[in-house]
Chain A
Amino acid sequence: MELTGAEIFVRALQDEGVEIIFGYPGGAVLHIYDALYKQDKVEHILTRHEQGATHAADGYARSTGKPGVVIVTSGPGATNAVTGIATAYMDSIPMVVFTGQVPTHLIGNDAFQEADNIGITRPCVKHNFLVQDVNELAQTIKKAFYVASTGRPGPVVVDIPKDVTAQKAEYHYPEKISMRSYNPVQVGHAGQIKRAVKLMLGARRPMIYTGGGVILGNAAESLTELARALDYPVTNTLMGLGGYPATDPQFVGMLGMHGTYEANMAMHHCDVLIAIGARFDDRVTGNIEKFCPTAKIVHVDIDPSSISKNVKVDVPIVGCVDKVLKAMLKVLKEGKGQPDAAAIKEWWQQIDEWRSKDCLKYDRDSEQIKPQFVVDTFYKVSNGDAYVTSDVGQHQMWAAQYYLFDKPRRWINSGGLGTMGFGLPAAMGVQLAHRDAMVACVTGEGSIQMCIQELSTCLQYHLPIKIINLNNRYLGMVRQWQEFFYQGRYAMSYMESLPDFVKLAESYGHVGMLIDKREDVQPALEEAMQLKDRLVFMDFITDQTENVYPMIPAGGGQNEMILV
């Protein structure tokens, strides 16, 4: 039987197993919305802005591992989605974004609501497709999901002209697809894995440094097993938190610009660095000239172009991180080699000495509400078991530093692009994927206003997110840089004319709380957690000039941290 393009679209999503699609309607996608209306297998979530839709799909993907799916209309719908697409691209998040397009005969005519979606999104997608023939629609959708979710994942855009959604074709959804131009590597090179293990066992001051690849590649268990078998210290990047249990003694904290002193010092002094699913980002390495001066480096990554991009490595291994880690474990178990226990013991003594600096200390007795104290307290009252999304700024760093993630896919933030406005919509995606879970968004009064409209979506779909607004009345991270590097010239970093967030939350139909006394912090968090089926907006009036420490200043090496 022949189906219209719009019906094919919906059937393909169903056959792909898509349960939720985030979107916003408009002229070019009305046939598709009509087809969505007539079925109930795929639930459509109406956000209040296309950026919200993309971040929500992204949060869904990050917390489940399944691709997030989005539909937006042509022109402004698509351009509004670009920030979310770029955010997902920078963090390698699997996502399929369908954009409406003007009818094929009008493409290139500057038609109403026409934009070159393929051209605009090309630099921030893993791949994109323009569907020109309804007979290719089903297969293109299959390809889009395949490309988005295999290899190094990423967003894929499928641009669908309106006439294609009206034309008819036989529906056939391919079970499997292969593409001659796309064959992601799976297993690592056996010889390289042996060489790596040999190098690792010879280490006297080893360091395991892991990134988002461990989360995306579902390799947290294998990583934990390997690290424990070796008794080597582990550090995670901002994107990699939860890849190794943060409460484990072998965990030395996050590394990088606002990482712990012990993690960065251990990086600087290590003799063998084992980098897994990480990409030597500039926020991690600090000054690249001074990076790990004495280390031989093993680098495991699924993307060959990540290897030796920023830092030359000694033993590169291209492959799926989980498979490579399992292969390493096998080599370890079969071989006779053992780590150098005496050297490792000495190394741990050194690391513990660095640790004793207690680099994350803050004034716990302060009269004012310290932002660190809020996150710390939330960690305790939620038993460390919440999904935590964040926006971008100081609050993001405090959330990463003080909430200890023991499990992967619990910490959801825009690490690569650093997109303010990400936190709330991402939390919606997480909550929709995990209806009964505790989902919190740690944010700032600047960031939350970038996608505040999504409070309305939260009401419509009963999403009981707990918003923890660390309100310092400043674009805090900007203010911190101005204090340190611009002699306190606070250009445009003061957030004036703030709304009354309590009333704002209430007007959206939610619960608002204002917390301006230290002793109210814990009771407020506890009360919010009791309100299981309500969204609670907690506006914490925090110490206005608190800074994020420790810090590697721009141009500094990992051993040149500024401490409190």
Chain B
Amino acid sequence: MAAPVAIHLEFGGGAELLFNGVKEHHVTLPSQSEPWDVKQLLVWIQRNLLKERPELFVQGDSVRPGILVLINDADWELMGELDYRLQDQDNIVFISTLHGG
């Protein structure tokens, strides 16, 4: 069993509008058999945080193209993207670059 993970989530560039306008969320992901990765985080966000129009945030397994992801202030492309294993106290930021966000 992997221990619960406490992380800090941030939404910006208009992506926060899909979360009732709330930009910052401190959340604790529950203990589960597998370690948490970003792919599972996206599923968790959809089930627990996303207020409306999931298709404007996720597409397939990943984030919608045009939404940038930063893990601890670094491009997620450098961190393994969906496969990145979340650590306690990680800071994950989603920034929409889409006009209508």
| A and B co-occur in one complex | no
- Chain A positions within 8 Å of B, measured between CB atoms, are none
